[in-house]
Structure 1
């Protein structure tokens, strides 16, 4: 049946309309929607059905009372403005809203031992129906917590007792391998790597993808330079790379560091990509507008968030059904002007 408000285009339905349709008093409607006792199950069902049919403004609360769920999902996320974690959080919020769930976020701080456990406990106290753990840093924290709601883990290997845990990831290792193989396919003998901080799971995955590509092609693995995700750290790594005439290709673990590398190479009198090719990771909005425009791999934040939330919502709403494995995230290499075949003799 069409909802009354939507059918007439008139004023929003009121509790008195719900009472009239359910055949009960307005006080009974109030008792049901406020979760009070002393209302029979049959009357409660009639009131909730009437509220749903009319599109009453508290129908989400009504559904929560009927099902014992709050229609809310908690998120444990690192409090940072870095592009990757922030973009993933936005994707989670959109996916949750589209699924009809409110989002409650608790941020952790880098270096805060016990932060994940404390954040999860805080969300459980708020009565969330499920939890998303989007915690990108290994704090060495032993997670010994029993959770009675489903948990979606994005990119971080966290373990919880007594729950259904769903894992999904952005496929960073495969993306890093794709970026490295792009440079090898152009004819570069090997690829140097500017890695992210070692405590970050994303940095480890990208390092593994770079190593995997070089190993599969039987290529030398140069010494790894490590940055902190900032353009400044990429610049410092780029100054070191510029001093080595054997460097013809660089894969940086994010776009900011790649931009810093390009700046250092340019200041050293080297041309990108004629002398050295550079590939980044993320496809941040500015990547297409730097000089030269940056070749990079695009992280599928929205796709991963939607797939993960789909599985989490299924675990919440159908707890007795088996969950399928998550779909593989898409791999997208964005080729721009910062990559080219190596110099004629393969050395600057």
Structure 2
């Protein structure tokens, strides 16, 4: 595992600055560019898939090795927005890594200029775009792959993480430790999501389904803000609201909707003198690179974000060379246990 010292060396900043940035310290005053250098260094250093690779990954057998494809990238989270939750930064870095291996030229597209879009061989859209935006992108270019959207598959390719599995792994881990009073703190950007149920994310719905199945669901422990970002600040605010609601009736564990939210949960619990994991265990989802550096290191479920970027680039490359039926790919997840979870305190 890359150390904070390794990150500081690459980003050319102090170890203290790296630690405070990775912990989303709100009292730290540094430029957005410095934050970006630190987050990108952390991501690249922990991109372990490539560390010991003996040879370049081969293309799928049905893809001719024709290089110099031009790929337009449309990002849902742009520039400084990436720093609020580096999940999408990690996907982008995976795209860039695989594009370099395949000899593809990348062009970032901020405005949907028809002439610019039609000048590239394919479009790669990263993030939770609205249904209208996805349809517009597909109208502008037939070769489209969307990474991270949950809208129904039309005649374009898509890649996502199996967040139903991720939530099951997280809850099973907590229940296996003996937790029954498991709260959920999260948010949904509902307008950018598809579904017929009130809540749209697999994470939220799987939490409700599993807790109800085991007769453990408690409405007071279910804290979800609709039409809101999943960032550290919102996690802090919702945890403050939750503590005011719970008073002395605290849960023994909290599952956060993602790691950024979990960091916000940790900030607020710590500010109230609540020890983690002695008093309350905290669990995240995504396992972004900073999760191992927060205090305490965060237990999470790894979403293979870099591989999402790689897979999306490969799907698009394939479509450019061999147009065919649209493909939807879900990548599996993996439980990562660190120091933020433990058995519930007796009594």
Asked if Structure 1 and Structure 2 have the same fold, meaning a TM-score greater than 0.5 normalized by the shorter chain, the answer is yes
The count of residues paired between Structure 1 and Structure 2 equals 263
Matching of residue 233 in structure 1 with residue 234 in structure 2? yes
Secondary structure, counterpart of 2:109 in structure 1: strand
Matching of residue 124 in structure 1 with residue 117 in structure 2? yes
Give me the whole-angstrom Cα distance separating, in 1, the residues matched to 2:172 and 2:124. 33
Query: Do the aligned partners of residues 230 and 306 (structure 1) sit closer, same or farther apart at CA in structure 2, a change above 3 Å counting?
Result: closer
The equivalent of 1:304 in structure 2 is 308
Give me the whole-angstrom Cα distance separating, in 2, the residues matched to 1:336 and 1:135. 28
Matching of residue 316 in structure 1 with residue 320 in structure 2? yes
The two structures have a TM-score, normalised by structure 1, of 0.66
The equivalent of 2:223 in structure 1 is 224
1:327-342 matches, within 5 Å, as 328-342=330-344
- Is residue 170–residue 329 contact of structure 1 (8 Å, CA) maintained in 2? yes
The equivalent of 1:155 in structure 2 is 148
Give me the whole-angstrom Cα distance separating, in 1, the residues matched to 2:153 and 2:270. 49
Matching of residue 193 in structure 1 with residue 190 in structure 2? no
Shift of 1:132: 1.3
Matching of residue 76 in structure 1 with residue 74 in structure 2? yes
Deviation string for 1:37-81 (max 9, x for gaps)?
xxxxxxxxxxxxxxxxxxxxxxxxxxxxxx9x9711112112122
The equivalent of 1:263 in structure 2 is 267
Query: Do the aligned partners of residues 139 and 196 (structure 1) sit closer, same or farther apart at CA in structure 2, a change above 3 Å counting?
Result: farther
- Is residue 281–residue 342 contact of structure 2 (8 Å, CA) maintained in 1? yes
Deviation string for 1:273-309 (max 9, x for gaps)?
1221101123233322322221112220121222222
- Is residue 242–residue 264 contact of structure 1 (8 Å, CA) maintained in 2? no
Query: Do the aligned partners of residues 151 and 188 (structure 1) sit closer, same or farther apart at CA in structure 2, a change above 3 Å counting?
Result: same
Higher relative contact order (CA 8 A, sep 6+): 2
Give me the whole-angstrom Cα distance separating, in 2, the residues matched to 1:106 and 1:246. 47
Matching of residue 206 in structure 1 with residue 206 in structure 2? no
| Structure 2: tracts of 5 or more residues without a match | 1-65, 195-199
1:131-170 matches, within 5 Å, as 131-138=123-130, 143=135, 146-157=139-150, 164-170=155-161
Query: Do the aligned partners of residues 278 and 157 (structure 1) sit closer, same or farther apart at CA in structure 2, a change above 3 Å counting?
Result: closer
Q: Root-mean-square deviation (CA), in Å?
A: 3.0
Secondary structure, counterpart of 2:314 in structure 1: helix
Secondary structure, counterpart of 1:195 in structure 2: strand
Secondary structure, counterpart of 1:97 in structure 2: helix
- Determine which structure has more spread, i.e. the larger CA radius of gyration: 1
Question: Which residue among 338, 343, 346 is the counterpart of 2:345?
Answer: 343
